[in-house]
Structure 1
Amino acid sequence: MGNINLSKLQMIDIQEMADSLSEEGLKHKTVKYVCRTLHAALEYAVKNKMITENSCKDIEIAEDKEKFEVEIYNAEDLGLLLSLLKEQEHPLYIPVLLASMRGLRRGECLGLAWDDVDFKENVIYIRNNYVVVNGVGYHKKVKTKDSDRIASIDGFIANELKEHKERMNRKGQIQTYVCEVDGKLPDPSHLSRQLKAFQKANRLPQCRFHDLRHTFAVLQLENGTDLDTLKRLMGHSKIGVTSELYLHQNLTLIKKASVIIDNIIIMKNKKSHNNVTIASGEN
């Protein structure tokens, strides 16, 4: 912990660290993850008799001051966003396409190599994640074995990727990674800033880049994709994660479910009423 020797580490030191991270603007979930990781490391130290007790217990983590809200695009706005990006030959077009139409994470979009694209089978293999730490970019495997997945690109997506590759080749840019710009991958955070700037300039609803992935999931559910299939498409390790993220307070799905039960009861009542009327007429 900075300059604090492991044997001298106390709970107050960890509490001050957690408070400091919260004050710097880190989300409750992120600080909780940091503390959980530290707790596991100190448990290992206790097990190996490097320290006598784990100081990372009962740490209080500040709640987020503002409730986080995901911004979901509807199908019409998403179509407009993609059309404008393509018309302007904007470098955001391909990563936005992959995120919103196939549910890739930002790092997965940037980590997608042309070697991961199989135009014969019309699939992409989502294996790598591109991150930048302290100004240095590097590739690593996707975060879980469930994130290592295959996505179909039949039809429209395959055509867009082929066209993009051909356009880059005509410009003399031989790419290793699908989302390269001028021979290199953009910083992930720069991608997000570009998206917000584009949305603002074109008077579109503003959202985070990651919200495009959420948009993909919600549109899938609203158009009949079952939860287990969506889990696989999103690369979630547990179906509970998918359910918690996308079923909770989804107004469209709630209304659809309500209409279904209403229609069932109404149709049954109509059928019963008609049978009674027919029977009465016969008498």
Structure 2
Amino acid sequence: MKEHLTEHNPCRDVEVSRLRSAERTPLTLEEAISLRQALHGDELDGKRVTIWLALAGGVRRGEALGLTWRYVDFDNMRVFIKHQYTENKALRETKNCRSRWIAIDDGTARYLRTWKAVQVRRMQVQGLSQTPNTPMCPDGDFGFHDPDNFSTWQRGYLIEHGLGRMEEAEEGGRKRRRYVGYDFHELRHTQATFLIGSSSARSSATAAPPGSRSGGSRRPRPPISWRSSAGRARPSPSTGAGSPSWRGRLGADVATTKHTPSLTSEVIAAGPAGDKAQDDKMLSTQERPHL
């Protein structure tokens, strides 16, 4: 072509198929409930709060790690996603460059309130004060958590709870260990999958906070209240959202989420009062400062 020996480039006739992105497999309802129960019983820290936010709000890893308390609106049960904390240790705009509100349910609000109080006490021990700019999901020094370090911890945590494993694979004549199992993307897609299952999953428009650009926020996603599914159908791969009974149950959960704890099961089945009692117990046992 450069030497003008031909007028047609034969490479333009070649049709190249686009690479298909890997399919995301969300957690089953039972796995999601089990993981949230584990998180609820664990000692609170920024890493576990990050996992909770993925399950409860469908936030991305960088978005959770970039959250500060300034953007948590407990009065209106919502969190404003404005930044992401990236692997090059910088706060940047979100992936799609659009800020947004996400709604949180009662259980998540209590979980975050409890964590906020625990964080205050731990910072006081080190002579620090919690401010609106303090990261919600910090590292051990209460700064922004390194995304790579978080991912390393996350894989170990998911293995511990039966949601992943390490296996040996031979590559280039060498045996290497690799992680196989759920990842952060699957956690956040779990929330989206449950949301899709409900035809009533709609939320009224919420105004963006002062200073946000017009059209930069979205309607907040309604929080999902995951109840125990013992003896009930789980989401079916063949039908996508699941059986009609599952859709109906999820729709009822969404419709009543303002009055329903986010984590109810055989273990936590006493309703809002019982759930709050467990939160209070968790706070009383975790407010002792870590030296």
State the TM-score bracket (shorter-chain normalisation). Answer: 0.5 to 0.7
The match for 1:121 is 76
1:231-270 to 2 correspondences below 5 Å = 232-233=219-220, 251-253=239-241, 256=244
Distance in 1, Cα, partners of 2:48 & 2:78:
19
Tell me, yes or no, if the aligned pair for 1:82 and 1:93 is still in contact at 8 Å: no
Instruction: Choose which of 143, 149, 154 in structure 2 pairs with 1:190.
Output: 149
C-alpha offsets along residues 36-71 of structure 1, whole Å, 9 cap, x if unaligned?
xxxxxxxxxxxxxxxxxxxxx99998965x972312
Report the number of matched residues. 184
Distance in 1, Cα, partners of 2:27 & 2:191:
9
Specify whether residues 222 and 154 from structure 1 end up closer, same or farther in structure 2 by C-alpha distance, changes over 3 A only: closer
1:1-283 to 2 correspondences below 5 Å = 68-89=22-43, 91=45, 92-133=47-88, 137-144=89-96, 147-172=98-123, 174-175=129-130, 176-182=134-140, 183-204=142-163, 206-226=181-201, 232-233=219-220, 251-253=239-241, 256=244
Specify whether residues 255 and 157 from structure 1 end up closer, same or farther in structure 2 by C-alpha distance, changes over 3 A only: closer
Specify whether residues 225 and 164 from structure 1 end up closer, same or farther in structure 2 by C-alpha distance, changes over 3 A only: same
TM-score, normalization by structure 1: 0.55
Ranked by relative contact order (alpha carbons within 8 Å, sequence separation 6 or more), the top structure is 2
Question: Deviation at 1:79?
Answer: 1.7
Distance in 2, Cα, partners of 1:142 & 1:90:
26
Gaps of 5+ in 1: 1-9, 11-56, 235-248, 261-283
Distance in 2, Cα, partners of 1:140 & 1:95:
18
SS in 1 for 2:90: strand
> Which of the two has greater helix per residue?
1
Question: Deviation at 1:150?
Answer: 1.1
Specify whether residues 68 and 160 from structure 1 end up closer, same or farther in structure 2 by C-alpha distance, changes over 3 A only: same
Tell me, yes or no, if the aligned pair for 2:197 and 2:242 is still in contact at 8 Å: no
Distance in 1, Cα, partners of 2:203 & 2:75:
27
SS in 2 for 1:172: helix
CA RMSD of the aligned region, Å? 3.4
Segments ≥4 residues shifted beyond 6 Å: 57-63
Distance in 2, Cα, partners of 1:141 & 1:59:
38
Tell me, yes or no, if the aligned pair for 2:54 and 2:61 is still in contact at 8 Å: yes
The match for 1:31 is none
Specify whether residues 227 and 252 from structure 1 end up closer, same or farther in structure 2 by C-alpha distance, changes over 3 A only: farther
Tell me, yes or no, if the aligned pair for 2:24 and 2:185 is still in contact at 8 Å: no
TM-score, normalization by structure 2: 0.54
Which one-letter code corresponds to 1:125 in the other structure?
F
C-alpha offsets along residues 106-155 of structure 1, whole Å, 9 cap, x if unaligned?
1110111101012222221111111022xxx110122335x311122241
Specify whether residues 228 and 250 from structure 1 end up closer, same or farther in structure 2 by C-alpha distance, changes over 3 A only: farther
Question: Deviation at 1:191?
Answer: 2.1
